[in-house]
Structure 1
Amino acid sequence: MKNEKLKIEEIFNGATYSDFLFRPQFSAIQSRKDVDLTMSLTRNIKINVPIVGANMDTVTREKMMKTLSLEGCFGFLDRNCSIDDQAARVKYVKRQHSYVIENPIVIQAQNTIEEARRVIAAQNISSLLVEENPGNGILAGILSHRDLIAAEDRDQMLVKAFMTPFRKLITVGPDITMDKAERIMIENRVEKLPLITKNKKIKGLITLKDLRMVKQKPYSTKDKKGRLMVGATIGVTGNFMDRAEALISAGTDCILMDIAHAHSEVMKEAVKKFRSKFRNIELVCGNVATGAGARFLMDLGADAVKVGVGPGRGCRTRLEVGAGVPQLQAIRESFLAVEGKIPIIADGGVSNDKDIALAILCGASTIMMGSMLSGTDESPGVVVEDAVTRRKVKMYRGMTSVEAFLDGNAVGYNAEEAISQAQSQEGQSLTVPYVGSVTDIIKRIKDHLCSAVSYAGEKDLLSAHKKISADPEKYLIRLSEAAKRESFER
């Protein structure tokens, strides 16, 4: 892309979030509860809250992924694990809180109670459908939590001795409506409703808990079958195509092809390989920090571009290498370069909620968050007490940190190579304050984004994004140092 510097407005050169405020506009909103925050994640996926969990092993694994999608957000499972482990996490999330569980976990009538307990613990579920014989899919009964209580200290006895047999079950056909299923379950005082054919073949399962969750959270990020949507990450070398195939087979809705410097030949070759086999899956590529990089990825076939080189707390690229672009400038360059054809995911540098608003008003569609989510109950890891401050904290680390490298990516290196690689990593590990549930953070961000839409004089976030990003010099104020102190020091 030629003369990309000429395309960016002067106020954005060298600028980031703390350099701006935007002018308040007349608001016609009666209630901020009516504000719509829907934005595009990719070319074909929209989410109701523009928050994306970072693909980091201290941020987004199955628990965080499930919660984010349930709350109308999104996330990407990290790849710092085996292919099988990552695919298993995808399958776990896809089974959670859908109207119909299409492939419920089953066990055979001839299995032991001990084997059933192991499956229930591994899958984090409360009951199992029981099939007559291995692989035949014919429903024989249900083994519930109450049945397992009755089987206490009888682990070597068979499942069929304690399960609720088929003749006592309430079952329905696979085409039942949501309302009718709820009515049947309430009338018969059951919490599980197997879906079967006339020949008793298992076709799915409806649980009262999931059915009510669907009604309570209609804004959740779900696929066409009513299942929670899942994102997962791959690299660009080695077995990345095997990983992609396993993740897509497991039900992944969106793949993130993620490397530190995506404006590169290695990314180009990887995208070509990926698109030669997977033409219809949504693909996000990153990271880049320039308009030329964003246009490069779009032209390769990316459905969204992830923007940010070095702004995050877990990244030391700018400190160690000197490469990078101030984050708001990078967002603006990328937004102008792709000309609205695909969305921009702003990754890194967000320290508070006003940064999220500014990123979207200046060109981003969604915001990827790492450190702001890593101190929550839903992030991986345990809460510990800081030895000095005695405050509760959790670990957060960049995926190019030494610790992350040694935990996952060092596989395949000999000792000398591993030491050399570890010493040249561009990430860091640190602790972040423990802040409770991520749902509280999401609610706070939603409230502040609704306020930002009101101050922008619009009724929905997309309209505010379009208005201000179309003419930022009309609405943005570049702050002096004195104005920054007045605005942000409290």
Structure 2
Amino acid sequence: MAYIYNDVSRTFSEYLLIPNLTTEKCTPDNIDLSTPMVKFKKDENCSLKLNIPIVSAIMQSVSNDTLAIALARCGGLSFIYGSQSIEKQADMVKKVKKYKSGFVVSDSNLTIDSTLKDVIDLKSKTGHSTIAITDDGTSSGKLLGLVTTRDYRISRDPLDKKVKDFMTPFSKLVVGKLGISLSEANDIIWGHKLNCLPIVDDEQRLHYLVFRKDYDDHKQNPYELLDSNKRLRVGAGINTRDYKERVPALVEAGVDALCIDSSDGFSVWQKYTLDYIKSNYDIKVGAGNVVDREGFLYLAEAGADFVKIGIGGGSICITREQKGIGRGQATAVIEVAKARMNILKKPVYIFLYALTAVLFTIIILFWHWQWVLIS
């Protein structure tokens, strides 16, 4: 059944902020941009909080692993687009999770019988210049040495040269013992002027690599959004069709949050998807998009940890053209904001964000797409 609203549907461009008095306390060091991302109970800490109130749209032209890394390093969160195969999306999530970590599980490994050509090919594939040499070529084998770009010269060394003939052997490596803290590992790195510190157990089996650049990167990006294992956080978009196959793969890849991506989220299919995820996984999941009170309440009561608002207000939104639906973004947010105040009579949080593809994938503005965080 169709409804005709008599009120005007307004966009954000119709509004301006009225400035208040700027006092001596209005300085950058007194500003806290951290924002709760998901619902949480009163008097409890939010389990997923952004360091800057920016997330990216779940769009193929926007949210890939490159943007996810860049945004997380600044303190925001990106949702890897779901309009691709499950394997490719999971691989993008893995790339983000592996980009930075205190203790990194090596994914560039060879044996002593490998050749310089194998080293070059592996470096080209992974982008990593540090290669662990183990007895079985795995990340958990007995560490026999390391190969870095300082161990060979492509212009002079033959491609069939064996790794065992130019690697830095274990006897010449400085290593850390399994169980040391990240702070202790960094002290060893700085004390011995290392770029990489292998972490091994009593049987010389490799467990982790700790990199000097990770320490430097963190100092240059103090607002990085990290998980409990010092890895960058990343989200992923899912749909209401193959979620039973896609969600397990994304969870295994290490995704931190999911969001059901649909032009019109006021749907029983989103409820079914939420039911499945909540019953089988301990992970935060959002839903949307909606533009009114009823749509918001439906998804909130279905268990969504956050609800995404906005249909039809952006210049690049084709939903209004294809489906003939939509609403002014400001009006949608105002109506939903009023509705969320009454949910279980608990305080809630609203988070607005926008992304423009015109200025490439890293230009994000607070305008056309919005996220409502419920509590």
Alignment of 1:323-342 (within 5 A): 323-339=325-341
- Confirm or deny: 8 A CA contact 1:47 1:74 kept in the other structure: yes
- Confirm or deny: 8 A CA contact 1:332 1:363 kept in the other structure: no
The aligned counterpart of 1:120 is 123
Alpha-carbon distance between aligned partners in 2 of 1:309 and 1:152, rounded to the nearest angstrom: 60
Q: CA deviation at 1:312?
A: 2.6
The aligned counterpart of 1:95 is 98
Q: CA deviation at 1:153?
A: 5.3
Alpha-carbon distance between aligned partners in 1 of 2:60 and 2:278, rounded to the nearest angstrom: 26
Alpha-carbon distance between aligned partners in 2 of 1:151 and 1:173, rounded to the nearest angstrom: 36
Q: CA deviation at 1:227?
A: 0.6
Alpha-carbon distance between aligned partners in 1 of 2:211 and 2:318, rounded to the nearest angstrom: 47
Q: Does 1:31 align with 2:33?
A: no
1:288 to 287, 290, 306: 290
- CA pair 262-119 structure 1, distance change in 2 beyond 3 A: same
Alpha-carbon distance between aligned partners in 2 of 1:259 and 1:196, rounded to the nearest angstrom: 46
1:309 to 311, 331, 337: 311
The aligned counterpart of 2:43 is none
Q: Does 1:172 align with 2:176?
A: yes
Alpha-carbon distance between aligned partners in 1 of 2:243 and 2:187, rounded to the nearest angstrom: 46
Q: CA deviation at 1:14?
A: 1.4
- CA pair 207-199 structure 1, distance change in 2 beyond 3 A: same
| Structure 1 unmatched runs, 5+ | 343-361, 380-437, 447-464, 466-490
The aligned counterpart of 1:21 is 16
Q: CA deviation at 1:80?
A: 2.3
Q: Does 1:251 align with 2:254?
A: yes
Alignment of 1:444-463 (within 5 A): none
- Confirm or deny: 8 A CA contact 1:51 1:369 kept in the other structure: no
The aligned counterpart of 1:53 is 56
RMSD of aligned residue pairs (Cα, Å): 2.7
- Confirm or deny: 8 A CA contact 2:34 2:51 kept in the other structure: yes
Q: CA deviation at 1:252?
A: 0.4
CA shift digits 1:23-51 (9 cap, x unpaired) = 32234424134211111222231111111
Alpha-carbon distance between aligned partners in 2 of 1:103 and 1:274, rounded to the nearest angstrom: 31
The aligned counterpart of 2:148 is 144
1:161 to 147, 162, 165: 165
- CA pair 195-104 structure 1, distance change in 2 beyond 3 A: farther
- CA pair 101-152 structure 1, distance change in 2 beyond 3 A: farther
Percent identity between the two aligned chains = 28
The aligned counterpart of 2:69 is 66
What is the SS of the residue equivalent to 1:15?
A: coil
1:293 maps to amino acid: G
| Structure 2 unmatched runs, 5+ | 40-46, 367-371
1:189 to 193, 198, 203: 193
- CA pair 140-118 structure 1, distance change in 2 beyond 3 A: same
- Confirm or deny: 8 A CA contact 1:70 1:221 kept in the other structure: yes
Q: CA deviation at 1:368?
A: 4.0
What is the SS of the residue equivalent to 1:243?
A: helix
What is the SS of the residue equivalent to 1:181?
A: helix
- Confirm or deny: 8 A CA contact 2:145 2:170 kept in the other structure: yes
The aligned counterpart of 1:369 is 355
Between stretches 211-220 and 97-106, larger displacement belongs to 97-106
Alpha-carbon distance between aligned partners in 2 of 1:318 and 1:282, rounded to the nearest angstrom: 29
Q: CA deviation at 1:104?
A: 4.4
- CA pair 154-83 structure 1, distance change in 2 beyond 3 A: farther
- Confirm or deny: 8 A CA contact 2:265 2:289 kept in the other structure: yes
Alpha-carbon distance between aligned partners in 2 of 1:363 and 1:143, rounded to the nearest angstrom: 50
Alpha-carbon distance between aligned partners in 2 of 1:58 and 1:160, rounded to the nearest angstrom: 44
1:23 maps to amino acid: I
1:94 maps to amino acid: K
Alpha-carbon distance between aligned partners in 1 of 2:352 and 2:152, rounded to the nearest angstrom: 45
The aligned counterpart of 2:42 is none
How many residue pairs end up in the alignment? 352
Alpha-carbon distance between aligned partners in 2 of 1:224 and 1:65, rounded to the nearest angstrom: 18
Alpha-carbon distance between aligned partners in 1 of 2:30 and 2:129, rounded to the nearest angstrom: 37
Hey, which of these two has a bigger chunk of helix by percent?
Answer: 1
- CA pair 339-117 structure 1, distance change in 2 beyond 3 A: farther
Alpha-carbon distance between aligned partners in 1 of 2:343 and 2:202, rounded to the nearest angstrom: 49
Alpha-carbon distance between aligned partners in 2 of 1:165 and 1:210, rounded to the nearest angstrom: 24
Alpha-carbon distance between aligned partners in 1 of 2:120 and 2:314, rounded to the nearest angstrom: 42
Q: Does 1:108 align with 2:104?
A: no
Between stretches 57-66 and 184-193, larger displacement belongs to 184-193
- CA pair 80-151 structure 1, distance change in 2 beyond 3 A: farther
The aligned counterpart of 1:131 is 134
1:244 maps to amino acid: V
- Confirm or deny: 8 A CA contact 1:52 1:366 kept in the other structure: no
Alignment of 1:218-297 (within 5 A): 218-237=222-241, 239-278=242-281, 280-297=282-299
Alpha-carbon distance between aligned partners in 1 of 2:290 and 2:322, rounded to the nearest angstrom: 17
TM-score by length of 2: 0.85
Alpha-carbon distance between aligned partners in 1 of 2:299 and 2:314, rounded to the nearest angstrom: 21
Alpha-carbon distance between aligned partners in 1 of 2:278 and 2:26, rounded to the nearest angstrom: 47
What is the SS of the residue equivalent to 2:289?
A: strand
2:15 maps to amino acid: F
- CA pair 76-193 structure 1, distance change in 2 beyond 3 A: same
Alignment of 1:331-410 (within 5 A): 331-339=333-341, 364-371=350-357, 375-376=359-360, 379=361
TM-score by length of 1: 0.66
